[in-house]
Amino acid sequence: MEKEFNVPPVVFPTGVSASLPHQRRAPAAAPNFQPPRPAASLGPNHNLPFMSFDIDSTRPSSSFSAAPVFTGGNISSGSFEDELPLLDELGINTRQIWRKTLSILNPIRLKTNLHEDADLSGPFLFLLAFGLFQLLAGKFHFGIILGWVTVAALFLYAVFNMLAGRSGNLDLYRCLSLVGYCMLPLVIFSAFSLFLPHGGVLIFALGAVFALWSTRVCTLLLLELASSGEEHRGLIAYACFLVYTLFSLLVIF
């Protein structure tokens, strides 16, 4: 037995045709697009810094200018002419080295005040020249020379301070500087030995003379600059003589 269902009638809204149930609606009108208006011309902002560059006013400079230096919030520019020479920045005073060299070449009138400021630039040059003269003689002694000078400075430093006691004021840096500067007579001897026959009496006599020269100069400098040990002059001179005799034998043999 079939059951009947009551279907309500379909009522279409007014204004819409029933014959066109699937008719699409007209698209909504797009909103009116208006381009953005140009912003008003901005006037000069006095709060912002402004730097003007006048190209026509630039003139070539005759000297190179250095980079600006910031000092206390201010900018100051310097020139390369105000910079110190490279040797002065490295602490190498060529005039002082030359004066010390001249003072050692005159052992009778030795100027001890020139050696109050100790440095290692002059001794390094003398040791380098000593090694070069030895190299011309066929001996490669650069390492031996540097090692012996270091040991000699330690030896004289220990001997002097033990003899002077508590009053000794010799530091190791000054001692190394004095030992290196007093090597100058032996540098001259190593240059002369290139023209002398080895194994003769002459080269032994010259070696003794130059060793005594270095001993005298080193002893005077140690006693004058250290301000103590005057009563032990003989022992200090003996220690210096042993050191420089060793270097003279290095040249002879």
CA–CA distance, 110 with 89 (Å, rounded to integer) = 29
Q: What is the pLDDT of residue 43?
A: 53
Q: For position 204, what pLDDT does the model report?
A: 95
Q: How many domains does the chain have?
A: 1
CB 186 within 8 A of CB 77: no
For residue 198, the model assigns a pLDDT of 83
Q: How far is CA 66 from CA 59, 71, 78, 192, in A?
A: 17, 15, 5, 49
19-43 residues labelled b (16+ CB within 10 A) or e (exposed):
eeeeeeeeeeeeeeeeeeeeeeeee
- For residue 78, which phi and psi values (nearest 5 degrees)? -115, 180
pLDDT, one tens digit for every residue, the chain (253 residues): 566 667 677 665 665 444 445 445 555 555 555 655 655 555 555 565 555 555 555 555 544 445 555 445 454 445 666 676 776 676 788 889 999 999 999 888 888 888 888 899 999 999 999 999 999 999 999 999 999 999 999 999 999 988 887 777 788 999 999 999 999 999 999 999 999 988 889 999 999 999 999 999 999 999 888 766 678 889 999 999 999 999 999 999 8
What whole-number distance in Å separates Cα of residue 107 and Cα of residue 216?
A: 7
Q: What is the structure's pLDDT at 18?
A: 46
- Structural domain range at position 232: 88-252
Domain membership flag for residue 232: yes
Residue 46 lies in a domain: no
Q: Quick check: is 134 in a domain? A: yes
State residue 64's pLDDT score. 45
Residue 208: other Cβ atoms inside 10 A: 13
Report how far residue 223's alpha carbon sits from residue 225's, in angstroms, rounded to the nearest whole number. Answer: 6
- Does residue 39 belong to any structural domain of this protein? no
**What pLDDT shows up at residue 108?**
83
Task: Determine the pLDDT at residue 199.
Answer: 80
Given this model, what pLDDT does residue 163 score? 85
